[in-house]
Amino acid sequence: MYIHERDNWTAFRWDASELTAILETVSLKQGRLYGRLASLGFDSKLKAMAENLTSDIVYSSEIEGISLNVDEVRSSIARELGIENVRYPAPSHYVDSVVAAMLNALDHYNRLLTKDKLCAWQAAFFPSGFSEGSHIEIGRYRTNEEHIVSGMFGRERVHYIAPSPDRVEKEMERFIEWFNSEENVSFVIRSAVAHLWFVSIHPFEDGNGRLARILSDMMLARSDKSEYRFYNISSQINRDKKRYYEILEETQRGDGDITKWILWYASTLSKALDEAETIVSTILNKSIFWQRAASMALSQRQTDIINMFLDGYEAKISSKTWAALAKCSKDTAIRDIQDLVAKNILAEDIPGAKRPSYSIVYNPEDISALFSDIGVEQENGTNYLVATYRGATTVREQIRKLDADRFLRGDLPLPHILAKYFAHLIPKN
């Protein structure tokens, strides 16, 4: 029996005592993130939001097996937000449509949800009227049965059968009424419920997963009381799609107790907030770097490559990597790097190494003395740099696997990794 086949099936219930700890953790991380965002100027906030929206749109589509060009998505978002954009290619009409749907939803996060809005957003996902080469119903609720299946033809496995088409209109009226109502319930819980409820109705022939995640974001925006979105759950779901579908199927075959679903959802949201903090820190660190380097004469090529690494390009800075990224000769790359070393923009990781690598100098001073108990921790496959700052405050930043491995091997000196991930603390000294 599927959940929607039960009487009064949307009277979801959960064990509040099992959720207290994770909800407190999420609330703490939300507060910490917005506290850090207060240090950003308006332009930097827009850039942080653009990075988040790019991630949200790309990964939400990828969950459904749809690959979008990341640079086209960035380009479309940059244009919509008024961010100067000369680096990325012009987006396709399809990408523009998807981006417009997301931004429209966030712009109207505090307005009443309506059937017309949902239909318009769904239609925006399929401007041609086709999905995977097949004509689909767009801009209206489905009129066909909807079975969620996997496996080869003749050996399909049915994961879920949605309510019959004749029920969809009534079910959606109830959902929209609930979505627009006010409840004395955590917005994280309401976001999780909105996601589950919507995908369980499956009101459209296609696009339901992406719409569910948009509605989740809208509910979280109401919690934050802001149309600016700096975190999303889609990237984390995409990393663990198998478990996402497993817990969804388990809940949809359950008895209406959705405690496990909310626990999973809130835990996934907690990871998303960690990722958002890393993005904000990267932007802060980048801002700090360019404040120091603003007066230095750099070529456009040097500026472009440095910005790539400041934005988190996953590679060691070496003459070989530089030449490949800049599409220049190795000799030119060496000259570029030597010039930046002379200007104290780059520093050798291990002086005199046979194959030298370099790190960006965020601050010429060695800040190692400000930190103690420094180490790398791993949680659910993610690496974190952990330290005690000024003997009192524990700081923790998500770091790239390459940096974690190099640091643990001794290839990335302590001052370099501290400056890279904790540069935002330097101005407070």
Domains, the chain, ranges and CATH?
3-282 (1.10.3290.10), 295-428 (1.10.10)
What pLDDT sits at residue 37? 84
CA distance 211 to 218: 10
What pLDDT sits at residue 373? 96
Tell me the helix, strand and coil percentages in the chain, rounded to 5: 55, 10, 30
Two structure tokens written together for 94: 């399809």
Among the listed residues 175, 179, 177, the one whose alpha carbon sits nearest the alpha carbon of residue 191: 179
Check pLDDT > 80 for residue 417.
Answer: yes
What pLDDT sits at residue 153? 62
Query: Is the sign of the CA dihedral 419, 48, 60, 220 positive or negative?
Result: positive
CA distance 158 to 163: 14
Q: Place 429 in a pLDDT band, splitting at 50, 70 and 90.
A: very low
The pLDDT tens digits for 296-348 are: 999 999 999 999 999 888 899 999 999 999 999 999 999 999 999 999 999 99
| Residue reference for tokens 């509605």 | 215
Q: Per mean pLDDT, which range of 70-74, 115-119, 130-134 is the poorest? A: 130-134
| Length in residues, the chain | 429
Among the listed residues 45, 43, 44, 103, the one whose alpha carbon sits nearest the alpha carbon of residue 73: 103
CA 15, distance to chain mean position in Å, is: 28
CA distance 281 to 279: 5
The pLDDT tens digits for 181-192 are: 998 999 999 999
CA distance 330 to 200: 56
The pLDDT tens digits for 348-366 are: 999 999 999 999 999 888 8
Mean pLDDT value of segment 158-182: 96
Residue 2 carries which side chain, given as an amino acid letter? Answer: Y
